[in-house]
């Protein structure tokens, strides 16, 4: 289990933390379905981890070196 997996599990399993993140920062740990396919330009795998109030989704990007940067996809699509 990676440190990000441990932290995400802690947030999911502790209602007070999940509620605080949701009400204060629009971080909805249980809303992790973007509704349409999203892919990184690099081809790296994306794992949806949370959503925001406006319909956007936060993803963890899997890099080969083990680092997992966060990527945000809005619900607005392309213009």
Distances (CA, A) of 19 to 24, 25, 42, 55, 69: 8, 10, 34, 18, 24
- Full DSSP string of 40-56: -TT---EEEEEE-TTS-
| Reported pTM | 0.76
How many other β-carbons are positioned within 10 Å of the β-carbon of residue 47?
Answer: 15
- Helices then strands, counting H and E runs in the chain, come out as 2, 3
Is 79 a domain residue?
A: no
Range of the domain at 47: 3-73
Is 69 a domain residue?
A: yes
> How many domains is the chain built from?
1
Q: Give pLDDT, residue 16.
A: 93
Whole-number average pLDDT of the chain: 82
Predicted confidence (pLDDT) at residue 1 exceeds the cutoff of 60: no
Model pLDDT for residues 41-68, shown as the tens digit of each residue: 888 778 888 998 888 899 988 766 767 8
Is 23 a domain residue?
A: yes
Q: Report residue 68 CA to chain centroid gap.
A: 11
Is 7 a domain residue?
A: yes
Q: Give pLDDT, residue 45.
A: 79
């Amino acid at each position: 289990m990676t440190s990000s997996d441990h932290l995400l599990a802690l947030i999911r399993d502790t209602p007070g933390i999940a509620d605080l993140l949701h009400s204060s920062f629009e971080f909805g740990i249980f809303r992790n379905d973007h509704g349409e396919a999203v892919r990184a330009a690099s081809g790296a795998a994306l794992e949806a981890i949370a959503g925001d109030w406006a319909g956007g989704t936060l993803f963890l990007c899997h890099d080969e070196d083990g680092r997992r940067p966060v990527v945000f996809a809005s619900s607005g699509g392309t213009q």
